[in-house]
Chain A
Amino acid sequence: AQSVAQPEDQVNVAEGNPLTVKCTYSVSGNPYLFWYVQYPNRGLQFLLKYITGDNLVKGSYGFEAEFNKSQTSFHLKKPSALVSDSALYFCAVRDQAGTALIFGKGTTLSVSS
Chain B
Amino acid sequence: ETGVTQTPRHLVMGMTNKKSLKCEQHLGHNAMYWYKQSAKKPLELMFVYNFKEQTENNSVPSRFSPECPNSSHLFLHLHTLQPEDSALYLCASSQEFDFYEQYFGPGTRLTVT
Which A residues fall within an 8 A CB radius of B? 32, 34, 36, 41-46, 49, 51, 90, 94, 96, 99-106
B61 interfacial by beta-carbon distance below 8 Å: no
Task: Please determine whether B56 and A46 come into contact, CB atoms closer than 8 angstroms.
Answer: no
Task: Please determine whether B43 and A32 come into contact, CB atoms closer than 8 angstroms.
Answer: no
Partner of A46, one of B48, B58, B101: B101
Rounded to whole angstroms, the CA-CA distance of A101 and B48 in the bound complex is: 11
- Contacts A43-B105, A45-B104 supplied; 10 other A-B pairs, CB < 8 Å: A43-B4, A43-B90, A44-B43, A44-B104, A46-B101, A94-B99, A99-B48, A99-B56, A100-B45, A105-B41
Rounded to whole angstroms, the CA-CA distance of A54 and B56 in the bound complex is: 32
Task: Please determine whether A101 and B42 come into contact, CB atoms closer than 8 angstroms.
Answer: no
Known: A41-B106, A44-B90. A49 touches B45 (CB 8 A): no
How many whole Å from B87's CB to the nearest CB in chain A?
14
Known: A49-B99, A100-B48. A105 touches B40 (CB 8 A): yes
Task: Please determine whether A105 and B103 come into contact, CB atoms closer than 8 angstroms.
Answer: no
The interface size bin for chain B is 20 to 34
> Of residues 59 to 113 in B, which have CB atoms within 8 Å of A's CB atoms?
90, 92, 97-99, 101-107
Which B residues fall within an 8 A CB radius of A? 1, 4, 6, 40-43, 45, 48, 50, 55-56, 58, 90, 92, 97-99, 101-107
Partner of B42, one of A41, A42, A46, A104: A104
Rounded to whole angstroms, the CA-CA distance of A43 and B45 in the bound complex is: 14
Contacts of B40 in A (CB 8 A): 105
Contacts of A46 in B (CB 8 A): 101-103
Partner of B45, one of A44, A45, A101: A101
Rounded to whole angstroms, the CA-CA distance of A43 and B97 in the bound complex is: 20
